[in-house]
Amino acid sequence: GLPRLRCVSLYAVGYNNVDVEAATARKIAVSNTPGVLTDATADCTMALLLAATRRICEGDAAVRAGAFEGWEPGYMLGMELTDALLGVVGFGRIGQAVARRALGFGMRVAYATDVAVAIDDDLIGRVTEMPLRQLISAADVVSLHVPLTDATHHLIDENALRSMRSTAVLINTSRGPVIDENALVRALREGWIGGAGLDVYEREPVLAPGLGECRNAVLSPHLGSATVATRAAMARLTAQNALDALDGRVPGNCINPSVWESAPPQPAW
């Protein structure tokens, strides 16, 4: 229905909302904005991790409601991060940036990946690879950093949640449907896991019934890349990708460069 469409330039890293195969068949370039939002998303991940493990939002709500009656030795105890095991699921740019930050907090870091990745030099010897199921069952905190594909849809399902430690915290700044959100609500309510920190949702912006009432869940409104500098960099990259494609050049972040292999697109002007 759009015969003149030349490029889909995404203001995001994820491209699960574009039929890349259909675009490629029609010689439509698809591009995204990786790299520029790595640090911002990693920072957001650590913010959720800290808030969830130390029950910061729960405590904030108690103070605002007048329920805080003074310091007590056993009041609202959380998780000690030193020597705790962070399990990073997906170990690309963002996963490795999160690992680097977690190491700074004295955490041990393991990762699981189903694709070959190049480990940054500063992380070699400091992180351990584990099979996914072993990582999920062993980690004190599980942080998700995978793209949304058929293979990762509901990667964290009821079975995975039941296999986690009862004190474990689940963090997701990747894509909402990677988690079965209805199963997560049950896990939080029934104590299969200790808590969660979520920045993305399965049917965003709608939450699964009951999730908003789970006091052991920290919920942020898709703020992963939400810094002034990062959103500006994403805008510049989105525009440059589009200009490159329309001028007959391969965008620097082209998802389907095979569009250019047989007959490079002619400039649009």
pLDDT, tens digit, 9 for 90 and up, residues 73-84: 999 999 999 999
Q: Label residue 11 exposed, middle or buried (CB < 10 Å: 0-12, 13-18, 19+).
A: middle
Distance CA(82)–CA(80), nearest Å, equals: 6
Q: Tell me phi and psi for residue 154, to 5 degrees.
A: 55, 35
- Catalytic residue (choose from 126, 204, 213, 236): 204
145 is catalytic: no
What is residue 260's predicted lDDT score, i.e. its pLDDT?
81
pLDDT in tens, 209-247: 999 999 999 999 999 999 999 999 999 999 999 999 999
- Contact between 175 and 204 under an 8 Å Cβ cutoff? The reply is no
Pick the catalytic residue from 93, 145, 175, 202: 175
Query: Among the options 108, 222, 231, 249, which is catalytic?
Result: 222
| pTM listed for this prediction | 0.93
DSSP string covering 205-236, please? TBPPTTGGG-TTEEE-SS-TT-SHHHHHHHHH
Query: What does the alpha-carbon distance between residue 45 and residue 202 come to, in Å, rounded to a whole number?
Result: 18
Taking all residues of the chain, what is their mean pLDDT, rounded to a whole number? Answer: 95
- Token readout for 63 is 């103070």
| 108 assigned to active site | no
Residue 81: both structure tokens together: 């991060």
pLDDT tens sequence across 8-65: 999 999 999 999 999 999 999 999 999 999 999 999 999 999 999 999 999 999 999 9
Q: What is the pLDDT of residue 268?
A: 52
Question: 265 pLDDT exceeds 90?
Answer: no
The tokens for 193 are 């896991």
For the residues 125-139, what does the mean pLDDT come to? 98
- What is the reported pLDDT for 263? 56
Q: Is 258 helix (H, G, I), strand (E, B) or coil?
A: helix
Bridge partners (DSSP) of residue 143 are 88, 171
| Cα–Cα distance for residue pair 34/13, rounded to 1 Å | 5
Burial pattern 186-204, b for ≥16 Cβ within 10 A else e, equals bbbeeebbbbbbbbbbbee
C-alpha–C-alpha distance, residues 86 and 109, integer Å: 5
CA distance 88 to 78: 20
Q: Where are the beta strands (DSSP E) in 97-210?
A: 108-112, 127-129, 141-144, 169-172, 195-198
Average pLDDT value for residue range 120-130 = 97
Q: What is the CA radius of gyration of the chain?
A: 21
Q: Is residue 204 flagged as an active site residue?
A: yes
Tokens 């995978």 identify what position? 146
What would the pLDDT profile of 146-193 be if each residue is shown by its tens digit? 999 999 999 999 999 999 999 999 999 999 999 999 999 999 999 999
Per-residue pLDDT, 194: 98
Residue 111 is encoded by which pair of tokens?
Answer: 């990762």
